[in-house]
Amino acid sequence: MQKNKDLQPQNFSDLLGFEILQKDQEKCIVKMEIHQRHLQGAGFVQGGIIATIADAAISMALGVIKADDTTLFTVEMKINYIAPASIKSKYLVADGKISHKGNLLSLGECIVYDAADKKIAQVLGTWITVKNNN
């Protein structure tokens, strides 16, 4: 399967191995295969990685509808970890959606699942839209 470069994440997301499965108006789905490097000492996916994939999914959903002369920043995120994920979980899928799009503040939500469709985490967050100073 050939990957469309416009649909692929860049920079920090590349380090974690994110793949964008869907990215359109108000929704983005991101997948990450779980590897040994993603695990904490007890053998489970490190919580910050789960939060990062959720943040990426919501941020990219918002990025589709933002103005070209603006940048989005995460203001706050609340995450509920529901179940652990491990190598046996195979991969994580973050289904990010926009709950509210405002001129300054926007709200998003995301559910993170594993390959067995088990809910791993649920996230709510707020993003701010800032005008670029170019």
* pLDDT per position as a tens digit, 20-44: 999 988 799 999 999 999 999 999 9
User: Is pLDDT above 90 for 65?
Assistant: no
| Range of the structural domain that residue 115 is part of | 5-131
Q: Considering its fold, how many domains does the chain have in total?
A: 1
Q: What is the pLDDT of residue 134?
A: 61
Q: E-strand spans in the chain?
A: 18-24, 27-33, 70-81, 91-100, 105-114, 119-131
pLDDT by residue (tens digit) across 95-115? 999 999 999 999 999 999 999
- Which has the minimum average pLDDT: 70-74, 75-79, 92-96, 115-119? 70-74
Please give the structure tokens belonging to residue 60: 């990219």
- Round to the nearest angstrom and report the end-to-end CA distance of the chain: 38
Q: Which residue has the tokens 């939500």?
A: 109
CATH number for 121: 3.10.129.10
Considering the chain, what percentage of its residues have pLDDT values greater than 90?
73
